Amino acid sequence: MPESATLTDADRVALWLASPEGTAALRWSLEKLRLPVAFDTDLVGMVIHAADRMVQRGDVIESVPAWTRRTLRLRAIDLMKSPRGRPAFIQPEDVDSPAGAGTDAADAAELVAAMDLAEIRREIAGRWDDRSGWTRSASLTYLSVAIDGCAPGVSCPAPIGGADEFDAAHWAGLHYADQRQCFAPFGERDDNTIRQRRKRRIDDVRKILVDAYVRTQADGSGAGDHG
């Protein structure tokens, strides 16, 4: 398979930025606004990030040089402006994945035991998108409780009995990710709907953890920084 067929548009943008033409465009973008040369790495990072988001959305970059030149200019201009208000992404109620789609708790237990935490954490946070935001947030909290041994605060709900040792960590993950709809109001008992919803969301978090683990193993990153 030719190399070009395996490259994403974001890869092509990164390659163009490394070319003499791209380097010149980068330098010109900084000079035009009298920005320090030391900002070049940040600017490249911002442009590649924008290209990644295009790929995630399924948008196509028709002309890599044109798109990259324009994005370089816009990102440099952004530094001159106040941050814009951005509509908050609302998690729709009906986006739960089907029940039982996750891994079982025992798998997760084995998994976390072998984790290279630093790389896993980078992997989880590095693949952020609006739709998966809360699951990634909950996954990071899960690691803090299950692996680092953090004790949740007094307002965090905890399973009462019959739960496995990692359930409390998952509950903490959902709580700190502000998934309030997964718990009954204070003083009330969970009904079946809430229990099912919580289970589905915990499954979603497990999937993120498994995916991050698999990816870090595939990347070969990994000798043991356990935090």
Partner 1 sequence: MAELLPDQQYIGEWPDDTAELVLLGTTPGPAGSYELQLDTITVAIDAADPSIVNWITGVEPAGERGAFNWSLLERLIGAEPTRSTIALLRTDDRVRFGPPLTTGPQRGAGWETERQATMMNIIIGMSLAADAGLLPYERALGRLEAFQRMSELWLPRDLDDWPDRVHEAAVDLLDLPPNRIDPDVRDLVATVFEQTASLLDDQLLAARLRRMAIALGPAELFVASEQAMDFEKSVRGAGAAAPARAAMAPSPMPVPAQQPVEVALHSLSYLAALKVPSINRTSGDEYEVRLTDWAGRADGWWVRGFRGNDAVPLAVVPMSIDGDDAVARFLVAPSQAASLVVDIVDDPSHARPSAQVAAFRAAIASGKRAAQLERLEQRPQAHDAWQRCSELHTVAGDESRASAAAAKAAGADRTRRRAVRGSSTTAVINDWIGPVTPETA
For residues 86-145, which are near partner 1 according to CB under 8 A?
A: 86-89, 118, 121-122, 124-130, 133-134, 136-137, 140-141, 144-145
Q: Which of residues 183-222 bind partner 1 (CB under 8 A)?
A: 183-188
Does the protein bind partner 1 through residue 178 (CB under 8 A)?
Answer: yes
> In terms of CB distance, is 94 or 186 closer to partner 1?
186
The DSSP call for residue 79 is T
Q: Distance between CA 127 and CA 191 in Å, rounded?
A: 34
Cα–Cα distances in angstroms (integers) from residue 69 to residues 3, 26, 50, 167, in the given order: 24, 8, 12, 49
Nearer to partner 1, 101 or 125 (CB): 125
Q: Which of residues 9-68 bind partner 1 (CB under 8 A)?
A: 32-36, 38-39, 41-42, 45-46, 49, 52-53, 63, 65-66
Among 18, 77, 99, 109, the residue binding partner 1 under the rule CB under 8 A is 77
Is residue 7 a contact point for partner 1 (CB under 8 A)?
Answer: no
What Å distances lie between residue 40 and 50, 69, 76, CA to CA? 15, 14, 10
Q: Smallest distance, Å, CB 22 to partner 1?
A: 13
C-beta separation of 49 from 57 below 8 A: no
Q: Quick one: which of 185, 165, 108 has its CA closest to 139?
A: 108
